[in-house]
Structure 1
């Protein structure tokens, strides 16, 4: 082979050149411009074409031997070509991208200048089946806090739970149920559509809390009559299984960030974004054009609805703003329920007239909606692990005529180019090692699902992703841990055996260093797969958010102290006090704490270490509880530097805070009001019982309780003040 006779300077020239171009030069490219994106695209695929020419004509076509040896070589090539096809479509998508934030801001300014009765009506649907109160409470409360004059919240209960009906009546939300569970979530939504008549309908899964300005930022896009759906990203306030189990929540973005932050804005540039089920708003007139109901032929009714509307000339618009926050799957079991449903639904669309292979779509939209990712993900990840094991244990090679020199000359430049190009298009969003670990984990479950759905596309039940306590089960995913551990053991033992001449299965000594390097990388990946399958302990039922703002503490002995909150959740808080106050906080001691924008809350000391005090809130259903939910989850009361700072997706939360205007904070003393930061602690009057002092914020709470409850609360406060 020619590469074997090249001097080292020429042998490594392609790899070093690609590294310099993709990792040093390309990041300085103005990738927002079309010419720069095209340049990266062309450069990457020229390198890949060079590799494929060598791969096909040198390592495959000359193959000879038994049927299974040649068959294995061709099968490995097929998997590789399938992977390249998926990557090629991804690169095509990245040739365009959008940022609709400035457009959303213009629409919001226009809407806020209109009288309230001029804005279209919106039905807000919260479909639910078996989610617990701890999950639903936040979503319902957040939906009722939407800053929009003409909407109605509807909880669509497919579980027919009396306590949920009572909760909705108490808060002022509508409640709908039905006699059966036909067509699962799609059927639930279709039933609600027959009972409501809003001009638009928004959908929030039971675990997604809308931000207060969701409707104001999205409804304006429908001024364009061709917009059928507006979709916002899924953003999470908790750690996903990989972040939690590997302890990488600060250094690793959640598993869906690459899709929602990079792929979806690019799809939007091709008018190929799609509805993702939750955090979307749909034009009712567009739905009427396709039968006034969501399609039910696939268990992923959202993406099928996008395709149905696309054929009628309606576009799904994507707004990359965190306008709703929710729960990522809290365990690998919940994660797999979700991903298996997505994979199965995507494969089902291949068999439908409304799917990507049906009539009425252009070539680019067919490519955008063809499920190449789900078809290639599982088999690709498993093959990466299995191929060197097969080679080391049987001597059956996946290629012929490959030398270490040819690997450096052809393969490594292609790998560097593909990953470098994605890093240019999606900086700080793509992590190759993490992506490989995630793909390997998913392959164990998704590959059987994909193959089963290809053979039998219909007849699969819709499974709801477990949330809350239902998601926290086994201590580890045995169906992932043991296969990964077995593959890791086979890889390590195979390496050891092939170092012993009498037991060696690899006939070509020059091939062993390449296989050894490949195997070591696989061992690292499989080790992380095993670690990810071990469920991290979840010490708290509620997520805690970092915060830095003042707090007032009233002890059982009548002392009034000040401090600063360190972290807070719906269940409790940690705060710092002066060192001299340490003797006042005995374990289980009762306290009352004043939280800005919430009011006074009964609490109990559960931890005391130095200046740090941990308390548990004794916060039953009340206006104060709803105000705390609003403060933590909806963005309605967040104030500049005092905003809650989520430790998981910090950058995304900062964007949430920046999009919400500051509201004044007022505490009341007698008939006078002043900013809290202007009043010395000793001038505050501590009420004889917990109450909410912030009348200004209470006036802004819409429908957290029925009108009678609001009036009674305000009356109680007015009486206490006077």
Structure 2
């Protein structure tokens, strides 16, 4: 164990102990219940932050720094360059670089836009070209996951290197990563960092993520939870195909069980309705038991096809017997109709059937054959070829608009391992304007929350305790938008209205809060080890509207089936001209309110209406919030790296 890791663990223990001491005191002794409407949200937000600190400390507890694989690279490789509507020359630049990778491989362009010009350019360079077949027409496309799943069945390499359309690979990328698969036959994924060449040192859009593509991924790697990030990664085909087959079987089993549960309810209801007819009641009761036994057999892993075949044979036999019964009933009804008393209506001069006798005939129970036929139709709907999908087997996860993390979690749940190799082996392009960046962050957050709501890692079978926490920690971070809203509102409320969320700004408060805060910052500095992380801290607060929208829209998608729009990140410059004020009005509003609150707070102190200590604490708080939100102002006026470079030359 390195000295640095020992220091990180010591600091982590102190941070957690000091944090628990502070939050326990906040809950037990310091809440101003007379102002509960802000006091309680604030302490909940602080509790959220403590849990976030605990998850971060846990992540770094087993941080792993790899030197590289021990084994030599081996195995056949397909290199996939994924594209939808990116400029053809950009895609071709990446594809040509992929073709120049030193290790023997096949290069393929996966064109989800099905462009004739793209196909011609690929052929001219001797590069493989794959697009979707007609089978995908009018079927769910599953965005990038569907594009990759389609290509998996068109290629044969043992390993896949996946690159986005703008990610130029290093010629040695396979030499530096393939050996991990030979080191450990259970390794399914090797992820390398994403690094952007069109980002300047100031990086006002916060595109570089050196803390994530570094300490955090290394921390997750220590728990065997480093996850797939969509590009610059090598995956084992065997693991993906196993994932696809297992998913297919589970989906088929789930749909079969759903159909059988419906059949069980239908037959049970019909059997109860026919209690007055012993023969029919017995027939339906027996069939009801057959369905129950079929469900139990499938739960015990008997082949679905065999179980449903036996059940269908019993249903057909029961249908035949019920038809015979219907024919006998019809014969009886005809005799009853023939025997109905008929009399002539004196006024109308027509024959009229006796009403009492007709009512008696009408109250007879209808045939239960319809219920049995409905059960037969449910079984007919069970198709092993999954006609609702373009292909029955979907190896990469399709439950989220971000297929990468969902796929990695499924692989980990099946016992496969992952590796994070901390070496920049591909260089790409980041968004160059605020609108594009916001859409990209929203999509990432929405996809993560979709996975959280559909496949919660805390309850997912197959994951270790550490893996559960690592995935949960990533999902938990996107709830920060709600906490940020409270952190922005609390000082504004105090400075303008004088409403105190704590009982007092006492020595007890400072004695607990300041050591916790300082130790937290020290842990962060040691983990970062020289990495510039202030931009990430700014955006964690400044993007609070994006995080809130991601949570609410993902909830609406999963629970209420409201669709999410999938937007491909532009890689060819700015998306629009003009200032994108509409996209950031919540942040700009917060900035204005914070400034107004600061001024009012100072005036209140000068006129003797405000508490000096409380005002000092909250003005410092306002200063931090404004410093964090100031990045949005910079991003609004950012003109892209080219303009920044020109301005820098002019200054020089």
Q: 1:477 to 1:171 in 2, by over 3 A?
A: same
- Residue-by-residue CA offset, 1:111-140 (whole Å, 9 max, x unaligned): 4xxxxxxx4211111111011134213211
Q: Secondary structure at the match of 2:632?
A: helix
Q: 1:499 to 1:39 in 2, by over 3 A?
A: closer
Residue 176 (1) aligns with residue 280 (2):
no
Taking CA–CA contacts closer than 8 Å with sequence separation of 6 or more, which of the two structures ends up with the larger relative contact order? Answer: 2
Task: Specify the alignment match of 2:288 in structure 1.
Answer: none
- Contact kept, 8 Å, 2:542 with 2:631, in 1: the verdict is no
Residue 450 (1) aligns with residue 551 (2):
yes
- Residue-by-residue CA offset, 1:491-528 (whole Å, 9 max, x unaligned): 22222223335998965443112122222232333333
Q: 1:538 to 1:419 in 2, by over 3 A?
A: closer
Q: 1:258 to 1:348 in 2, by over 3 A?
A: same
Residue 124 (1) aligns with residue 79 (2):
yes
Equivalent in 483, 494, 500 of residue 391 of structure 1? 494
Residue 55 (1) aligns with residue 26 (2):
yes
Task: Specify the alignment match of 2:148 in structure 1.
Answer: 189
Q: 1:399 to 1:138 in 2, by over 3 A?
A: farther
Q: Which has the larger radius of gyration?
A: 2
Q: 1:56 to 1:540 in 2, by over 3 A?
A: closer
Q: 1:436 to 1:320 in 2, by over 3 A?
A: closer
- Contact kept, 8 Å, 2:479 with 2:547, in 1: the verdict is no
Hey, what's the Cα distance between the residues in 2 that align with 1:170 and 1:539? Answer: 31
Q: Note the C-alpha offset of 1:254.
A: 5.4
Equivalent in 561, 568, 577 of residue 464 of structure 1? 568
Hey, what's the Cα distance between the residues in 2 that align with 1:510 and 1:502? Answer: 10
Q: Which has the higher strand share?
A: 1
Task: Specify the alignment match of 1:236 in structure 2.
Answer: 196
Q: Give matches, 1:97-112, under 5 Å.
A: 97-101=63-67, 103-104=68-69, 106-107=70-71, 110-111=72-73
Hey, what's the Cα distance between the residues in 1 that align with 2:540 and 2:578? Answer: 21
TM-score (norm 1): 0.64
Hey, what's the Cα distance between the residues in 1 that align with 2:217 and 2:238? Answer: 25
Hey, what's the Cα distance between the residues in 2 that align with 1:290 and 1:43? Answer: 41
Task: Specify the alignment match of 1:214 in structure 2.
Answer: 173
Q: Note the C-alpha offset of 1:430.
A: 5.1
Residue 368 (1) aligns with residue 470 (2):
yes
Q: Note the C-alpha offset of 1:386.
A: 2.1
Task: Specify the alignment match of 1:42 in structure 2.
Answer: 13
Q: How many pairs align?
A: 491
Q: Give matches, 1:595-610, under 5 Å.
A: none
Q: 1:323 to 1:418 in 2, by over 3 A?
A: same
Task: Specify the alignment match of 1:495 in structure 2.
Answer: 598
Residue 512 (1) aligns with residue 615 (2):
yes
Task: Specify the alignment match of 2:363 in structure 1.
Answer: none
Task: Specify the alignment match of 1:11 in structure 2.
Answer: none
Equivalent in 229, 232, 236 of residue 279 of structure 1? 232
Q: Secondary structure at the match of 1:337?
A: helix
Q: 1:156 to 1:349 in 2, by over 3 A?
A: same
Q: Give matches, 1:641-660, under 5 Å.
A: none
- Contact kept, 8 Å, 1:227 with 1:316, in 2: the verdict is yes
Hey, what's the Cα distance between the residues in 2 that align with 1:287 and 1:388? Answer: 50
Hey, what's the Cα distance between the residues in 2 that align with 1:540 and 1:510? Answer: 45
- Residue-by-residue CA offset, 1:305-337 (whole Å, 9 max, x unaligned): 111111221011111111111112222222122
Stretches of structure 2 that go unaligned for 5 or more consecutive residues are 246-394
- Residue-by-residue CA offset, 1:634-671 (whole Å, 9 max, x unaligned): xxxxxxxxxxxxxxxxxxxxxxxxxxxxxxxxxxxxxx
Q: Note the C-alpha offset of 1:437.
A: 1.9
Equivalent in 523, 536, 551 of residue 435 of structure 1? 536
Task: Specify the alignment match of 2:109 in structure 1.
Answer: 155
Task: Specify the alignment match of 2:185 in structure 1.
Answer: 225
Q: Secondary structure at the match of 1:278?
A: coil
More off after superposition, 168-177 vs 332-341 = 332-341
More off after superposition, 483-492 vs 281-290 = 483-492
Q: 1:394 to 1:505 in 2, by over 3 A?
A: farther
Q: Which has the higher helix share?
A: 2
Stretches of structure 1 that go unaligned for 5 or more consecutive residues are 1-28, 112-118, 247-252, 547-573, 575-606, 613-722
Q: Note the C-alpha offset of 1:281.
A: 1.0
Task: Specify the alignment match of 1:654 in structure 2.
Answer: none
TM-score (norm 2): 0.70
Q: Note the C-alpha offset of 1:481.
A: 4.8
Task: Specify the alignment match of 1:256 in structure 2.
Answer: 209
- Contact kept, 8 Å, 1:475 with 1:534, in 2: the verdict is no
- Residue-by-residue CA offset, 1:69-118 (whole Å, 9 max, x unaligned): 213211111111112111211111111122223x33x33xx34xxxxxxx
- Contact kept, 8 Å, 1:344 with 1:449, in 2: the verdict is yes
Q: Note the C-alpha offset of 1:360.
A: 2.4
Hey, what's the Cα distance between the residues in 2 that align with 1:314 and 1:527? Answer: 43
Provide the aligned C-alpha RMSD in A.
Answer: 2.9
Q: 1:275 to 1:43 in 2, by over 3 A?
A: same
Hey, what's the Cα distance between the residues in 2 that align with 1:518 and 1:190? Answer: 49
- Contact kept, 8 Å, 2:453 with 2:555, in 1: the verdict is no
Q: 1:369 to 1:257 in 2, by over 3 A?
A: same
